[in-house]
């Protein structure tokens, strides 16, 4: 997702002012991908309100400084299945995993991408057992301590919303830690 915020000198672009109905200043318009006419922004004029508007319209989860928020990378529609997966005995986990895979197949956009991470993590837990999440959590913490790059550190810290969700207990925190570490490793580190 790319968000561009621009400022123009009005006297140079009279044609655009007429085309988009700009009659007062400042006028803020939102142009989603398939809406060439644009959409008026009528929210507050402070940064928090503007960022909230952009997050709602673009499906992002950023704070005013550009960092990921506590809602980033979570797929709320998968919450009940994650709870069920973690609370059933090992024999029933395959059934729940297939339900998760079905739901993920129905997702689109960034939710689909993050949903695939849920599936990968669930498979790893099934293959390596419940202790796997604890080991992954510890490994991710060690990686964070060693990271020099602020960008990479920010990406690893982006796990925090997934690692400490309010909607479930510690067991889900462990599975989410696994989810995020798997994705980040594939992008930043050689496995």
* Mean pLDDT confidence for 131-142: 81
Give start-end residues of each CATH 1.20.1150 domain in the chain: 76-188
Contacts 24+ apart (CB under 8 A), 76-83: 76/167, 77/103, 77/107, 77/111, 78/103, 78/104, 78/115, 78/118, 79/167, 79/168, 82/118, 82/168, 82/172, 82/175, 83/168, 83/172
Q: Which position has the higher pLDDT, 72 or 183?
A: 72
Q: Which position has the higher pLDDT, 121 or 102?
A: 102
> Which H/E stretch holds residue 142?
helix 131-146
| Sign of the dihedral defined by the CA atoms of residues 184, 107, 34, 40, in that order | negative
Q: Which position has the higher pLDDT, 46 or 181?
A: 46
| CATH architecture, range 76-188 | Up-down Bundle (1.20)
pLDDT in tens, 54-97: 888 887 888 888 887 877 888 889 989 988 988 888 889 999 99
Task: Give the predicted TM-score (pTM) of the model.
Answer: 0.56
Inter-CA distances, 30 with 3, 38, 54, 154, Å: 10, 5, 8, 28
């Amino acid at each position: 997702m790319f968000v561009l915020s621009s400022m123009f000198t009005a006297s140079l672009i009279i044609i655009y002012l007429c085309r988009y109905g700009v009659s007062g200043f400042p006028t803020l318009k939102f142009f989603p991908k398939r809406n060439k006419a644009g959409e008026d922004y009528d929210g507050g004029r402070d940064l928090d309100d503007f960022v909230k508007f952009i997050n709602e319209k673009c499906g992002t989860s950023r704070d005013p400084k550009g960092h990921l928020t506590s809602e980033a990378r979570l797929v709320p529609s998968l919450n009940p299945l994650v709870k069920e997966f973690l609370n059933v005995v090992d024999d029933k986990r395959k059934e729940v995993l297939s339900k998760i895979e079905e739901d993920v197949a129905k997702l689109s956009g960034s939710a689909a991408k993050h949903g695939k991470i849920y599936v990968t993590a669930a498979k790893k837990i099934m293959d390596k057992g419940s202790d796997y999440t604890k080991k992954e959590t510890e490994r991710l913490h060690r990686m964070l301590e060693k990271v020099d790059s602020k960008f990479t550190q920010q990406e690893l810290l982006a796990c925090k919303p997934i690692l400490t969700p309010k909607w479930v207990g510690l067991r889900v925190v462990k599975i989410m830690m696994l989810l995020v570490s798997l994705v980040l490793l594939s992008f930043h580190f050689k496995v």
